Amino acid sequence: MIYVEEKDFSRQLDLIRAISNAERSSFCAWLYPESKAENIAGWRVQKSNLEAVTTYGDNVTPSHTELVNCSEGVIVSVSRAKNDVVAHCDSLVLYKLGATQWFTAVVGHEGMCLVRDDALSSLLQQAGFKVSSEPKNWW
């Protein structure tokens, strides 16, 4: 697992951009369980069998936006919807095409980015991110 501490929203999107440029992937935003939003950045909110990054007690399964192919247009849409994303979303997540297990997650309010593929470490370093194979003490 790769850990990248990054609190800046635009840099978090840069991390998603760097990884999605290197590996075709699908994107969705996971909502906080208490969110009543019906769409985020123009995408319908739903439930499915996708693996969530954050787990909640009492068997609560959060909702997420529909899964879309990640592209520059998707990243721009998320950037434009920053206020809604910050208010309603726990995490921004990439899935390999056809997979239900996430491989990259940005937990925005925590300022933590997680990447399950250690082979992407050098790509992230080249993009200017400080990567670690160990989580921060507070994480």
Q: What is the pLDDT of residues 48-60, one digit of tens each?
A: 999 999 988 888 8
Q: Is 128 left (phi over 0), alpha (psi -120 to 50) or beta?
A: left
**Dihedral angle, C-alpha 113, 115, 121, 124, nearest 10 °:** -40
- pLDDT grade for 134, boundaries at 50, 70 and 90: confident
- Is residue 120 pLDDT above 70, yes or no? yes
Residue 138 lies inside a defined structural domain of this protein: no
Average pLDDT of the chain is 95
Residue 139 confidence (pLDDT)? 63
72 Cβ contact partners less than 8 Å away, ≥ 6 residues apart = 17
Question: Which tokens belong to 23?
Answer: 């590996």
- Specify the number of domains making up the chain: 1
Residue type, 70: C
Q: Which domain holds residue 8?
A: 2-126
Residue 29 lies inside a defined structural domain of this protein: yes
How far is residue 39's CA from residue 28's CA, in Å, rounded to a whole number? 11
Residue 53 lies inside a defined structural domain of this protein: yes
Residue 133 lies inside a defined structural domain of this protein: no
Residue 131 lies inside a defined structural domain of this protein: no
Residue 139 lies inside a defined structural domain of this protein: no
How far is residue 40's CA from residue 138's CA, in Å, rounded to a whole number? 29
Of all residues in the chain, the percent with pLDDT exceeding 70 is 99
Residue 72 lies inside a defined structural domain of this protein: yes
Residue 137 confidence (pLDDT)? 76
How far is residue 13's CA from residue 18's CA, in Å, rounded to a whole number? 9
Residue 92 lies inside a defined structural domain of this protein: yes
